[in-house]
Amino acid sequence: MSREEMGQDKSFKSGFVGKQHENPGGLSPVTLAFVGDSVFELMVRERLVRQGGMPSGKLHSMAVERVRATAQALAYNGVLAACTEPERDILRRGRNVSLSRMPKSCTPQEYHRATAIEALLGYLYLGGEQARLEDVFALIEEEIARGQNP
């Protein structure tokens, strides 16, 4: 599809968010977290690349530090406090998901909180809420930095 065709296609949006899902809140929290995991990783990677030239190995290490469940869990309480009621419901549903596998690198509580964060990001992304997605991402980054440097 050419750029001209994309500009005429009503479903194409410039920026990060793609076509809006009709009812992202109706999706399972696991599905939302599946999408949110990718959204978060891409946003972290984009932020790191914008900070300036670094070797790819360093970029990878920095990205892994930010996207791991223990880091995401640090942001949970701050994000929860800033959420609307529908967003809190998504966080609650994501946190309460029954997971069959748990990584050894974090506690069950950290993993559930990280899943909740990812579910919220997936919900915002699929709902086409670009500005809110960016606000929540910025809050997550602040909370992670605060938690890592108390």
Q: Is the pLDDT of residue 78 over 50?
A: yes
Domain ranges of the chain: 27-148
Q: DSSP readout, 18-42?
A: -SPPS-GGGS-HHHHHHHHHHHHHH
Round to whole Å and give the CA distance between 71 and 65: 7
pLDDT at 3: 38
Which architecture does CATH list for 27-148? Orthogonal Bundle (1.10)
Round to whole Å and give the CA distance between 91 and 139: 15
Active site (catalytic) residues: 37
Confidence of residue 5 (pLDDT cuts 50, 70, 90): very low
pLDDT tens digits, residue range 81-140?
999 999 999 999 999 988 778 778 889 899 999 999 999 999 999 999 999 999 999 999
Q: Is the pLDDT of residue 55 over 60?
A: yes
